[in-house]
């Protein structure tokens, strides 16, 4: 006869993670106001433009749209927000300004590591050779960011300036990845630790051991999962004291797992709770030879796909020691 406490624990866990949701918002009613403001003010310095745009959002956004600024990643909130139709014309400076303003409104503190040029994602030299890299041509396997770092990254945000390849960001809820696990396997996952290691973007090797599943009153259940396989360092997540078979079973199910996709169009902003959702990307919808040619002399104005990225802790709950981490100033 199964242990009742065991069964109740697993059932409660499954129920809670199945309640996580994503929200899609449409800012098309504000796009004209933003673009009109931009045409009059775009020659000003970036930090001034960001402040003006934050005020514009707070003045003109509907109350039901501002509601989600405080809710991403919390136990009573949502795990992701995708906002479409914020602006319609291709301008890297406008896209970056919108990105920084919305990241602030969602309380994201962007972290710039010394080893990583993380803000702009676009085809870089040798892009056609790489998978598992935001600046590469190949696909990226579902994962959460920076699990090998000492800092816990609460949020990832992406803004599309342009994407002629029409390659959306995909995101996966853990409930959809764990649905084929038995109760015994779920219980094993709940007590498991794994070692997370760095990949191509880090010189040398960084490692951190984390619990795969954690719980807090503020955020509910949170996950640390990374199914990428680095070309040099191998699997980015390895069970520490048993349980690798559970991770392997989840990995086998990834190709057929239910998932969501963002809108791969100019003027889209996506923010996800990094420990509630795994994000990924299929291979860019562009020929490898064309990707190589595009990457050779790629600039913000010529690259076929340009996104801006921020990632880091939420401001109100994780004050930073600025002597340890350098905040991106762009």
Give the H/E segment covering residue 204: none
- Identify each DSSP E strand in 167-294 by its residue range: 170-172, 193-197, 207-211, 213-216, 220-223, 229-230, 234-235, 237-239, 260-261, 268-273, 278-281
Give the confidence band of 127 by pLDDT, cuts at 50, 70, 90.
confident
Q: What is the rounded distance in angstroms from the CA atom of residue 196 to the CA atom of residue 143? A: 11
Q: What is the rounded distance in angstroms from the CA atom of residue 273 to the CA atom of residue 124? A: 27
Give the confidence band of 192 by pLDDT, cuts at 50, 70, 90.
very high
- State phi, psi for 47 to the nearest 5 degrees: -65, -30
Contact status, residue 169 vs residue 261, Cβ threshold 8 Å: yes
Q: What is the rounded distance in angstroms from the CA atom of residue 267 to the CA atom of residue 83? A: 8
Number of C-beta neighbours around residue 305 at 10 A: 24
Is the pTM for the entire model greater than 0.85?
Answer: yes
3 state DSSP class of 76: coil
Q: What is the per-residue pLDDT across 69-100, written as a single tens digit (0 to 9) for each?
A: 999 999 988 999 999 999 999 999 999 999 99
Q: What is the per-residue pLDDT across 234-269, written as a single tens digit (0 to 9) for each?
A: 899 999 988 999 999 999 999 999 999 999 999 999
Contact status, residue 49 vs residue 97, Cβ threshold 8 Å: yes
Q: What is the per-residue pLDDT across 138-157, written as a single tens digit (0 to 9) for each?
A: 899 999 999 999 888 999 99
Does the pLDDT of residue 203 top 90, yes or no?
no
Rg (CA), the chain: 20
Mean pLDDT over the full length of the chain: 90
> Which pLDDT belongs to residue 162?
96
- Per-residue pLDDT averaged across 115-132, rounded? 82
The per-residue b/e assignment along 196-208, b for 16 or more CB within 10 angstroms, e otherwise, is bbbbbbbeeebeb
Count each helix (H run) and each strand (E run) in the chain, helices first. Answer: 9, 19
Give the H/E segment covering residue 154: none
Q: How many residues does the chain have?
A: 330
Range in 62-66, 117-121, 281-285 with the lowest mean pLDDT: 117-121
Q: What is the per-residue pLDDT across 278-321, written as a single tens digit (0 to 9) for each?
A: 999 999 988 888 888 887 778 888 899 999 999 999 886 444 44
Give the confidence band of 56 by pLDDT, cuts at 50, 70, 90.
very high
Does the pLDDT of residue 2 top 70, yes or no?
no
Does the pLDDT of residue 325 top 50, yes or no?
no
**Tokens linked to 158:** 């992406």
């Amino acid at each position: 006869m199964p242990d009742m406490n065991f069964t109740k624990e697993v059932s409660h866990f499954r129920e809670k993670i199945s309640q996580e949701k994503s929200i899609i918002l449409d800012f098309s009613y504000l796009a004209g106001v933003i673009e009109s403001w931009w045409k009059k003010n775009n020659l000003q310095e970036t930090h001034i433009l960001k402040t003006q745009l934050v005020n514009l959002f707070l003045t003109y956004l509907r109350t039901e749209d501002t509601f989600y600024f405080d809710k991403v990643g919390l136990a009573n909130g949502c795990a992701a927000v995708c906002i479409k139709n914020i602006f319609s014309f291709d301008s890297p400076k406008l896209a970056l300004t919108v990105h920084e303003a919305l990241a602030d409104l969602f309380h994201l503190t962007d972290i710039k590591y010394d080893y990583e040029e993380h803000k702009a994602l676009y085809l870089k030299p040798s892009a056609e050779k790489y998978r598992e890299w935001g600046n590469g041509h190949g696909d990226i396997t579902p994962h959460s960011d920076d699990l090998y770092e000492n800092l816990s990254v609460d949020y990832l945000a992406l803004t599309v300036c342009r994407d002629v390849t029409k390659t959306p960001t995909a995101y996966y809820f853990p409930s959809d990845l764990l649905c084929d696990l038995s109760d015994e396997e779920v219980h094993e996952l709940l007590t498991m630790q794994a070692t997370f290691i760095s990949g191509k973007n880090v010189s040398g090797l960084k490692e951190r051991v984390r619990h795969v599943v954690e719980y807090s009153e503020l955020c509910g259940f949170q996950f640390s999962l990374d199914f990428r396989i680095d070309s040099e360092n191998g699997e980015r997540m390895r069970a520490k004291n048993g349980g690798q078979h559970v991770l392997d079973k989840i990995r086998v199910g990834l190709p057929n797992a239910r998932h969501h996709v963002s809108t791969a169009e100019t003027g889209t902003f996506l923010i996800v709770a990094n420990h509630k959702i795994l994000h990924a990307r299929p291979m860019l919808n562009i020929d490898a030879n064309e990707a190589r040619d595009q990457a050779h002399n790629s600039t913000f104005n010529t690259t076929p796909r340009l996104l801006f990225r921020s990632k880091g802790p939420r401001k109100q709950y994780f004050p930073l020691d600025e002597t340890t981490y350098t905040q991106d100033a762009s």
